[in-house]
Structure 1
């Protein structure tokens, strides 16, 4: 009877021990599988990566002056100007002739400016409010907040896994068949590090895109007349020039005839011979009249 009781107690102890061990293993498995999720939740709740951006489009009285004031505000809020582009486009142009030497040019043009600045994220709201006060009115004001916490966490987890893989490969724990795979993992590790740095920079400094314009401007300026047709001389000067040109032309003709003196002398000699021969033989040059035909 005692043997049966002892045997029953031993079976019960073995069963309880096995159940206890199974429970411990299950607890360890659950703990190991949930470690990453717990870490993810803690990082997500403690270190949110919020990227803030803003877009502003507004009208101002003076584009150049407002550009300088925006630069001053950016320095005040410990930011930096990344881009500043100013342009003026002529819409219409007209020239009014004043005299032969000058014209009045009337230009109608508009002026625009685009700026991109970065300011600390904690000063974004104050900076946008200050810039809004520089304009006559605002045509667009847009502010966005993008949550990159999960992307940041994903990059960190990938970095950790790649670091662990490279570490085990150096220790000889694991061996890769292709040595190029180590370089691929290292390059991927660098990419993830750069991605986290990029997210950190975007979280720290917010990007603000500004576009502002002013009313069309009319500019009048007196400029030299560039049309050569208007530069003509007076009548007296042109007449005097014509007389001088005629004298030059006569001299050129006379010089040309002088170069032909041999031919002129020959022509005179032939004319004298002809006159002499006609005087000696007048019968040859007499007019015999019409010839009568005999039928």
Structure 2
């Protein structure tokens, strides 16, 4: 009895230990799955170079992502909706299907099975407000089935903006001095012409600096995101009519003979009907023949 009690106790302790290890393993597996899901959810997000409200820095932020989706067309519509919802807009989209393989298999005399293997992909370029970039990238995560690559860049252009503004000021001052010189000292037509050309050059350079600054400010305010979407190769099978093989629709020999007999009978009926229409001529000819024979005998 003592041996049995010890054996039962040992088995009970062993069972409890095994159950605890199994529960711990399940918890670890669940934790790893949750971590993986969280990683996928934030895999496209980025807090890089986020501007603070009181900061003097100006960042031009761009993002390039390549990822696999379950359905390119549906994901494209979802992405366009997300971008519009956050105040952005799409500047380029190239949705296309590329045929990788095409086969035709004749399954019957009048039917062909077409098998087409193709892939669908799309390249999208979109602009979103700089403050909404991280939110948009996070929202895109639910469309990602497999992330191939993610490249996010942030270029600080604060000094370049300041340099452009200072250059514009210098050009404006130089232009004003030239205009004053023309008004006060310009007497000869050649001198006036040369001075006017210099003023025009200064104005052109000033305008170019203004345009550069506007372009930089636009890039700062709206981030540019380039997406490349693709999906698994799709196989489409379709049963189509075989237009090339018309011999399959020829009637069998018995039906051809029956059609020939009917055609011949119809021709005979036509001949009889045509001859019947000439009864008057036949009657006149018969009477003439009889009269001729009688006169000949006399």
TM-score range, shorter chain: 0.5 to 0.7
Match of 2:232 in 1: 215
Pairing partner for 1:225 from 221, 242, 253: 242
Pairing partner for 1:79 from 88, 93, 97: 88
- Report the alpha carbon displacement of residue 76 of structure 1 after superposing the two structures with TM: 1.8
1:17-166 to structure 2, matched below 5 A, reads 47-166=56-175
- Report the alpha carbon displacement of residue 232 of structure 1 after superposing the two structures with TM: 6.2
Match of 1:185 in 2: 202
Q: Which has the larger radius of gyration?
A: 1
Q: Is the 8 A contact 2:110 2:245 kept in 1?
A: no
Which of 101-110 and 174-183 deviates more? Answer: 174-183
Q: Is the 8 A contact 2:121 2:230 kept in 1?
A: yes
Match of 2:278 in 1: none
Q: Is the 8 A contact 1:121 1:206 kept in 2?
A: yes
Provide the TM-score with structure 2 as the length reference: 0.61
Provide the TM-score with structure 1 as the length reference: 0.61
Mark the runs of 5 or more structure 1 residues left unpaired by the alignment. Answer: 1-44, 245-295
SS at match of 1:143: strand
Deviations 1:87-118 (A, max 9, x none): 11111111122333331211111110111111
Point out 4+ residue stretches in structure 1 off by more than 6 angstroms.
173-177, 237-244
Q: Is the 8 A contact 1:85 1:115 kept in 2?
A: yes
- Report the alpha carbon displacement of residue 240 of structure 1 after superposing the two structures with TM: 8.9
Aligned partners of 2:135 and 2:84: how far apart in 1?
13
Mark the runs of 5 or more structure 2 residues left unpaired by the alignment. Answer: 1-53, 264-298
